[in-house]
Structure 1
């Protein structure tokens, strides 16, 4: 425990001493606003770190479990063992947060770790590669840089656990590589996160919260609301409310706003720009390839067959798809791969609960966007096409921990064991049944 705490405290020093360097690197890579970089790549990381340091002593303890009658004098417990050597492959959109949070849990659980940061955000990659090893034990922790070729070679090695954050397409490649060695893994992937806005809601509050979630980090967020489902009537109310919110956030010309990020690379810019042909542009639509700028954009009357609805947008574009009612919205959501996040806005709690009960997603947030991931007490992860496994807070510690079932029996009192030995007879079977049987208790009722 002392060693793990020392390494975690060293991570805290890395964050504190390199805070300004982190802000500058993310600004150079993505024109990321200081506020957004500080909130995601510093504050939330410190929260994860402090939550882990506050609770590690408790998390590491053996858990004693219930025992059968015959084992009352023995010790039955769960030992929390590390897996061994862990590989963490992180993406570019939150280049510090998305490697550091799993790293905190991997260290807390006692593993050695190789970190592979994204090569797309070159300034942040260089900062991590040069600075992080100065804080951690080089015998147990390493940073490996490179692109596809280096990652492919890295995956040829046998790891004891792999943690990957990225796209479903690459996630399948990672899972195939892990299968060769039967390596357990966590896949934090993405998808198209639906946002249903009912006719019964405060449209101005909903617009502000949706706009913030969609255009935070220029939309390059795996849990951003990817598209809106609402009625024709709500669409007519929502568009002017979104326009007002965008102007309030970024001014009359978002291109000049210091609070609006840029697309990370030319390839990503061209892919996102091609989606602007979907539906009709109700707000925004401007683009500047030289600056990799795409304005906060709202597309109205988008059809399910339009390009913007065929892939995760991962940019500052918000399509609105018209549905007749809540039931049609639920059917629309359920007809597609299960998303990483699902959002619902309504002043009627019955509507929010109804959507929650009739759908499936990695995470769920009613009447807001993104905020569910700020709680270390909630698990974060996908389901189906959006991922496998969960983390944040103790869930990260659990992810990187092998829960080892242990029984330590007394060497004496052999008479207790005699009924299990041959030759068998009906009397011995009766004794064994009495000693081991678990009887069903009274029915319970879910309130």
Structure 2
């Protein structure tokens, strides 16, 4: 798509938004229902595309992509009218007689840029929130998941005219062309490098931005944890989508006293969940492309390999891999892994573990396995991170009743459910001042009596 075509789409969307058609609840609900019907109609196509792009099984595609997206959509349909209502707030006595309220207003035309690792969920979830809030949208999915892109493009074009929701095809050139335009809001999910570029371009027009990024999310395991259960949940969260999950446990930080027991439990759990030969498991995924495949393999230090490490270049598959005796000097700790490698580090005391986490950029997620309530509180009080779980991994993002987002280098802003609607809305503060009376104290000429009365109101 050329830059001129992008400009034409943006102009058409601005014109359509100005018509006021997106303001009514009935219109928004109709669009959400249309999208839901299209998702159900194309569920098999989406599953086949996700299998082709990422090797995802039908179960994983529904559990982590289509089903989660439908859940967000259903939540939004149920709550939309309530979200659209103005919210009454108290009015200071000094402003008597008046009514004060907060009123949500759509930004206008928004840009949604999504990644390849969960291409359905991370494209359609923010689109649902944008539509619910009354915006028009330009959607730019990643070119790295071409089969899924084709299905989503077909699906979206069946539902919406381009002057309302448009899909832009292409790669870096199209990304740059989009970022040169003046949108009313930008929502970006992806890596920190591109995130910085998005923020830099948005600054040109002072465009509000939500960034959903990533980072090295720690998984802390203390000596009180239920080791077998911890291993089961860690293995699920780490190797889901072949580790290509922004909130996957990036590394384990465990009490050195239970390290060997934990490793033994993790290896047993890998074989239980994926079989003794995971690369022969048809439900185990693949790496998105050769570039990432080679990058991940380059992070494996054979001297520290405990389990796995096998790979199939022809199918871009890497077996679940565990690395022990890792330090922060190892290559695997120098970047977000985004693959099926699990490095294990140890600590002597919980304070040491918390110091380690806090001395690095704030992660998108943090997981803590412990039966010690005081230790759980200490971790939550001490560490800064986007979100996470106690005694589980990744499931915190699977609910529309909690916001999902990062902090610091792992992102800014959040979405899902009510917060998703708010992210794509501007809230106007309105005072409706009555005309049947007018208190005179704020007007000149000022007197001691007026000042005395003002001090009674404002204190």
Per the normalisation by structure 2, the TM-score is 0.93
Alignment of 1:287-298 (within 5 A): 287-298=311-322
Q: Does 1:423 align with 2:445?
A: yes
SS of structure 2 residue aligned to 1:305: coil
What's the counterpart of residue 55 of structure 2? 31
Question: CA separation in 2, counterparts of 1:26 and 1:401?
Answer: 31
Equivalent position of 2:380 in the other structure: 356
Deviation at 1:71, TM superposition (A): 3.3
Q: Which residue of 2 aligns with 1:226?
A: 250
Residue among 337, 345, 351 paired with 2:369: 345
Structure-2 separation of matches of 1:339 and 1:226: 10
1-side partners of 2:109 and 2:52: how far apart? 32
Residues 251-275 of structure 1, C-alpha deviation per residue, up to 9 Å, x if partnerless? 1100011221000000010111100
The answer as to 2:329 corresponding to 1:310 is: no
Q: Which residue of 2 aligns with 1:122?
A: 146
Are residues 1:389 and 2:413 paired? Answer: yes
Structure 2: how far apart are the matches of 1:226 and 1:271? 15
Indicate the residue corresponding to 2:429 in structure 1: 405
Equivalent residue, structure 1, for 2:157: 133
Q: Secondary structure at the match of 1:291?
A: coil
Residue in 1 that maps onto 2:232: 208
Write out per-residue CA displacement over residues 343-365 of structure 1, whole angstroms, 9 at most, x where no aligned residue.
00012222222111111100021
Report if the CA contact (8 A) 1:25-1:127 is conserved: yes
Deviation, 1:334, is: 0.6
Structure 1 residue 278: deviation in Å?
Answer: 7.0
The CA deviation string for residues 305-329 of structure 1, in whole angstroms up to 9 with x for no partner, is 1000010000000000121121111
| Greater mean alpha carbon deviation, residues 69-78 or residues 126-135 | 69-78
CA contact (8 A) 2:39 2:155 kept: no
Query: Which range moves more in the overlay, 358-367 or 124-133?
Result: 124-133
User: Alpha-carbon deviations, 1:159-193, whole Å to 9, x = none?
Assistant: 00000000111100000010001000100000000
Following TM superposition, by how much is the alpha carbon of 1:232 offset from its aligned partner in structure 2, in angstroms?
Answer: 2.7
**If the length of structure 1 is used for normalisation, what is the TM-score?**
0.95
1:221/1:392 CA distance change after superposition, 3 Å: same
In structure 1, C-alpha distance between the alignment counterparts of 2:64 and 2:317, rounded to whole Å? 21
* Number of aligned positions between the proteins: 435
Deviates more, 1:13-22 or 1:33-42: 33-42
CA distance in 2, matches of 1:420, 1:327: 56
User: Aligned ranges for residues 76-91 of structure 1 at < 5 Å?
Assistant: 76-91=100-115
| Contact 1:362-1:386 within 8 A present in 2 as well | yes
2:119 corresponds in structure 1 to 95
Match of 2:13 in 1: none
What is the DSSP-based 3-state SS (H/G/I as helix, E as strand, rest coil) of the residue aligned with 1:10? helix
Distance of 1:201 and 1:129 partners within structure 2: 46
RMSD (CA atoms) = 1.1
List alignment gaps of at least 5 residues for structure 1: 439-447
Q: Does 1:198 align with 2:222?
A: yes
Shift of 1:429: 1.3
Instruction: Report the Cα distance in structure 2 between the residues aligned to 1:373 and 1:134, rounded to whole angstroms.
Output: 29
Deviation at 1:72, TM superposition (A): 3.9
Give SS of 2:104's match: strand
Aligned partner of residue 344 in structure 1, secondary structure: strand
After TM superposition, the structure 1 = structure 2 runs for residues 235-384 of structure 1, keeping only pairs within 5 Å, are 235-277=259-301, 280-384=304-408
Q: Give the equivalent residue in structure 2 for 1:444.
A: none
Question: What CA distance in whole angstroms lies between the structure 2 residues aligned with 1:150 and 1:138?
Answer: 17
Query: Conserved in 2, the CA contact under 8 Å of 1:278 and 1:307?
Result: no
Alignment match, 2:169? 145
1:278–1:302 CA contact under 8 A, matched in 2? no
SS in 1 for 2:73: helix
Structure 2 alignment gaps of length 5 or more: 1-24
Q: Classify the secondary structure of the residue corresponding to 2:67.
A: helix
Q: Is this contact kept in 1: 2:156–2:165, CA < 8 A?
A: no
